[in-house]
Amino acid sequence: MTTSTTHTDRVAIVTGGSRGIGAESARRLAADGFAVVVGYAGSAAEADRVVSDITTAGGRAVAVGADVADETAVAAMFDTAEQTFGGVDVVVNSAGIMILAPLADFDLDAFDRIQRVNVRGTFVVDQQAARRLRAGGAIINLSTSVLGLALPTYAAYIASKGAVEGLTRVLARELRGRDITVNAVAPGPTATDLFLQGKDEETIARMAAQPPLERLGTTDDIATVVAFLAGPARWINGQVIRVNGGIV
């Protein structure tokens, strides 16, 4: 007799899970039957609210604080997932920061912060995932469609996400024979705090009008694709999925 893993015994870790795309992805995966570890850096109360949303709806979830760039903290987060729910099947790397300024004026300490969270953080989490995910698993990194738009002031952010796309493709090949997919989701302009911060209404309206669908994306738009890659999309591997309403 053969047995198969179903959503009801699968476990997901979602970094950056306290807000925005990460929080919506955590809720969506829980609704699909995953037990979810909601990873967060500094937003414990918001992470607890996401856990409460999931458990109130009948799901299973726990919040774990971890700096994604700290390999010891990330290993401990995976330990918690294994000890609480029995293993790890899916990892969603949603933790990230964005700081905008022209390249010529960009503060190098701020540049280092972006690379530490977005590049090193993704690398560290992916490293643990590569070591510990069960067969049939999925690693889903978060990039950005801004790479294609090449907007002024986004140079440091684009540099970090270009690195994420590169390591996504390499890791997919390194996991040959493991039955683990590795992909990246690249949202376009999406109505999250990260995107809206520092933008005036005119700028937001102009960016919302750019896609043929003439609106900003929603966190649900992105979480739907994350859930697809985490579940039925077993023949998509080593790809960057641009989820942007046709903007690029």
Give the residue numbers annotated as catalytic, written as ranges.
157
- Collapse the DSSP code of 36 into the 3-class scheme (helix H, G, I; strand E, B; otherwise coil) and give the result: strand
Instruction: Extract the runs of DSSP E, i.e. beta strands, from the chain.
Output: 11-15, 35-40, 61-65, 90-93, 138-142, 181-187, 240-243
According to DSSP, the β-strands at 90-93 and 61-65 are unpaired
- For residue 64, the cross-strand partners are 39
Q: Residue 141 forms beta bridges with which residues?
A: 93, 184
Tell whether the torsion through CA atoms of 91, 46, 200 and 206 is positive or negative: positive
Phi–psi pair at 134, nearest 5 degrees: -80, 160
SS3 21: helix
B/e letters for 233-246, b = 16+ CB within 10 Å, e = fewer, are: beeebebbbbbbbe
14, 36 in Cβ contact below 8 A? yes
